[in-house]
Amino acid sequence: MVPKLSGVASKVNDAELEQLLFDLLRIPSVNPKFKTGDEPAETQIVEFLDKKMMDYGFEVERQVVESGGWNLIARIRGDGPKTLVFNGHIDTVTGANMPDAFNPKIKHGKLYGRGASDMKGGIAAMIEAAKAVKTSGVKLNGDLVLSLVVDEEYGGTGTQKFLEKEKPDYAIIGEPTQNEIGLAQAGYIEFTLESEGTIQHGSTLKIGDNSSAYINATKILNGILELPTVRKVRHYLDVEMPNTVNFCPVDQRIFTSQAWMTVDYYKVNVLIGVAPGRTVAESDRIIEDTLEEMEVLVDNTNKAGQRNKLNYETGVPPYKKHGFIQPKNDFAKKFEQAVDQTQGGHRYAYVLSFCDGTFFYDKGIPTLTYGPGTMELGHSSNEYVDLNEVKEAARTYAQAIENILGTEVL
Catalytic residue, from 39, 118, 151, 152: name it: 152
Tell me how far the alpha carbon of residue 169 is from its chain's centroid. 21
Q: Of 42, 50, 91, 264, which residue is the catalytic one? A: 91
Give the pairing of strands 105-107 and 367-369.
Answer: unpaired
Task: Examine the residue annotation and report whether 91 is marked as an active-site residue of this protein.
Answer: yes
Buried b (16+ CB within 10 A) or exposed e, 217-252: bebbeebbeebebbeeebebeebebbbebebeeeee
**φ/ψ of residue 177, rounded to 5:** -135, 15
Active-site residue, 152 included? yes
| Burial annotation 346-368 (CB, 10 A radius, 16+ → b, else e) | bebbbbbbbbbbbbbbeeebbbb
b/e burial code for range 283-320 (CB count within 10 A of at least 16 → b): bbebbeebbeebeebbeebeeeebebeeeeebeeeebb
Strand partners, 369: 173, 182
Q: Are 42 and 24 in contact (CB under 8 A)?
A: no
> Whose CA is closest to 263, among 179, 194, 344, 187?
194
Write the CA distances from 45 to 120, 167, 244, integer angstroms.
Answer: 11, 25, 32
Instruction: Kindly report the number of other CB atoms within 10 A of residue 58's CB atom.
Output: 23
Q: Which residues are catalytic?
A: 91, 152
